[in-house]
Amino acid sequence: MQLPAPVMNPARSRLPGLQNADGGWGVLPEGPSATEPTALAAMALRDAEDPVAARSGARGLDWLEERQRSDGAWPASDQVPMGSWMTSLAVLALADSRRDRARAVKGAGWLLDQEGRPVSLVTRLFFFIFPRYNVIDLDLELKGWPWYENTFGWVEPTACALIALKKLRGQLPEPSARSRIEEGERLILDRVCEGGGWNYGNSRVYDEELWPYPDTTALALLALQDRPDLPTVRSSLDVLDRLVARNQSLLATSLAILCARVYGRPVEAYSRRIVERLETAPPWIDVRALALAALALREDPAPLALDHA
Amino acid sequence: MLVALPGCGRNEERWQRSAFAKPATSRTAVLAAEGYGQGLDEAVRRGVELFDLPLRGRRVVLKPNFVEFDPDGVINTHPAVVAAAIETFRSLDADVVVAEGPGHRRDNEYLLTATGIGDVLRDTGTPFVDLNNDAVRRVSLRSSYTGMKALYLPETVMSADLFVSLPKMKTHHWAGVTLSMKNLFGIVPGSIYGWPKNLLHWAGIRESILDINAALPMRRFNIVDGIVGMEGNGPIQGEPVPSGVLVFGEDPVAVDATAARLMDIDPHKVSYLEEAGRFLGNLETERIVAIGEDPDRHRRDYRVLPRFTGIKANSRATAG
């Protein structure tokens, strides 16, 4: 979808100035480079016509390529060397680039081997015998993907992994890819809040409903973009609109645009809001939000769209 | 969150004896503060000045609690308390930074705007550091309740001359109470360990509170916002309790024990506080010197969830 002429991409032009000397970006300006903001910035700068922006994006991809571990994963940063949930974003950045996809496929292979740690059988048996002690309303057997190795699976890392795996589906081994994707979708659907939308991954605690967040809802919907007819997806798209009306942050609005693009919903009002928001941005706007804004304002189909693979 | 099984081997020492020197006594100050308007700045300044803190030219990190936002709730440290703390420490020539790593939300722009803390930062020109995404250093743990050997912790926190925990006075549906010590979950970087600070829930909430608090070697101070606290299903969905009180002190165990008693909760029955009292600070009333107002004047009966009735001061149950 073409943006109307008045909506430019001021977020993209800011990214090169925030790039670290090593070619990566930190979430916080002047902070150490990290995989998440670098992957998002590289996606936002891909195919930039401005040579400064194009060179900046290429250096970002170099940073990512240099940091891929031998097992295919990416660390969160140079300071934290173990494989990270951010691998999903690096996979997407490299899959979206014009470079050799082998690195992205290897990263996706690492993702296939990662899974959340379900609650133990003993605990599940305990909850079965004494249900009053189970105060959360989750399917405790689902694995999905965790934020951190050997811990429970949650909505955002699962959504990011699903987008990456679906993007590279044709190059991944079957039936494991299908099995992981289907199980990940089940986790996302299990965690939906009453009425639609998602928070970090708990819909109810102690019989009290928890409320959805726009950023998490948008990510979950991006992960389910090839399942548009699911009732949960339809209701959650409406919930997202309501949430973003109340939360006008750069992060929420940018993810809402990315989501609206893949579902063919209008983005113009959100896009104008981003531009206005950038003009009065408070100092704590971080590079991750700025890169997402730049990505959301790209005039070509979103890199997170599966039909763009 | 899912299963917070109590630690085993409760009588076994799980800390490096040489790393901790519990003071013979700890001072805490309870001061009245009727609301978040007029008089609050003075109350906070008075509370801080009761303690002999070296502040001139020192880097002070204020760590409020803003984990989530509900327009109808009282989840977070009130922005007026944050503003009063900024003003107080600055007036004493400290270099002040506000830092937090929200436990539920990744959208700081939203949280800072919605909670009103962003307005405080802007009006006072105070820098903010997102602890979920700060530079980190690997910190070897000095206690072993979780079984973890080390944690990556934010540079902003680890390089502070004085770390000030600014929690809300709340009940907590997994831990019993959340005060100065539990507030430190917010320093654990979500970008590495996830939301809702997932690793810590797997490792055990009680155990994580102890290990994180034991890991910080710098001087500490604590100011508990109990002007309006939260009871019931805290820390998110509980109900407000106007208590009109602030609690000050350097020893986080003594401060939290004092605050718990103000909530009519026996700190000896809160498992992590009882254990912290063995090595991190003072829990017993006879070892806590009240240098402010008479705490008994400010005691309120905070309601707890049924599974935590055992921690109430009048309960016959033992540590939960």
Span A93-150, pLDDT tens digits: 999 898 989 999 999 999 999 999 988 888 878 778 877 777 777 888 999 999 999 9
**Average confidence (pLDDT) over B188-196:** 96
User: Does an H or E element contain B301, and which?
Assistant: none
Distance from CA of B204 to the nearest CA of A (A): 12
B174 found inside a domain: yes
Query: Quick check: A89 pLDDT over 90?
Result: yes
Where exactly are the structural domains of chain A? 10-308
**In chain B, how many domains are there?**
1
Domain A10-308 has CATH 1.50.10.20: yes
Cβ <8 Å between B2 and A206: no
Each residue of B125-168: pLDDT tens digit?
A: 999 999 999 999 999 999 999 999 999 999 999 999 999 999 99
Q: Which of B114, B127, B135 sits opposite A31 (nearest CB)?
A: B135
Query: Quick check: B318 pLDDT over 60?
Result: no
B16 found inside a domain: no
Query: Quick check: A245 pLDDT over 80?
Result: yes
Distance from CA of B133 to the nearest CA of A (A): 6
Query: Quick check: A5 pLDDT over 80?
Result: no
Question: With contacts defined as CB-CB under 8 Å, which chain B residues touch A120?
Answer: 3
Q: What is the CATH number of the domain that holds B89?
A: 3.40.50
Q: Are B288 and B254 in contact (CB under 8 A)?
A: yes
Cβ <8 Å between A202 and B1: yes
Q: Which residue of B has its CA nearest to A252?
A: B107
Q: Are A180 and A163 in contact (CB under 8 A)?
A: no
Q: Which of A79, A282, A284 sits opposite B135 (nearest CB)?
A: A79
B12 found inside a domain: no
Each residue of B275-317: pLDDT tens digit?
A: 999 999 999 999 999 999 999 999 999 999 998 999 999 886 6
The per-residue pLDDT for A2 is 46
B253 found inside a domain: yes
B20 found inside a domain: no
**Average confidence (pLDDT) over A251-275:** 94
Distance from CA of A264 to the nearest CA of B (A): 25
Q: Tell me whether B116 touches chain A (CB under 8 Å).
A: no
| Of B41, B15, B14, B44, nearest in space to B29 by CA | B44
Cβ <8 Å between B237 and A85: no
Each residue of B239-273: pLDDT tens digit?
A: 999 999 999 999 999 999 999 999 999 999 999 99
Residue with tokens 């800072």: B112
Lowest mean pLDDT among A163-172, A253-262, A300-309, B114-123: A300-309
What residue numbers bound the domain in which B192 lies? 30-311
How crowded is the C-beta side of B16, counted as CA atoms within 13 Å?
11
Query: Quick check: A6 pLDDT over 60?
Result: no
Does residue A50 or residue B9 have the better pLDDT? Answer: A50
Task: Give the number of other Cβ atoms within 10 Å of residue A301's Cβ.
Answer: 12
The per-residue pLDDT for B317 is 61
B185 found inside a domain: yes
Q: Which of A84, A123, A286 sits opposite B3 (nearest CB)?
A: A123
The answer for B 166-205 residues in CB contact with A (under 8 A) is 173, 190-196, 198-199, 201-202
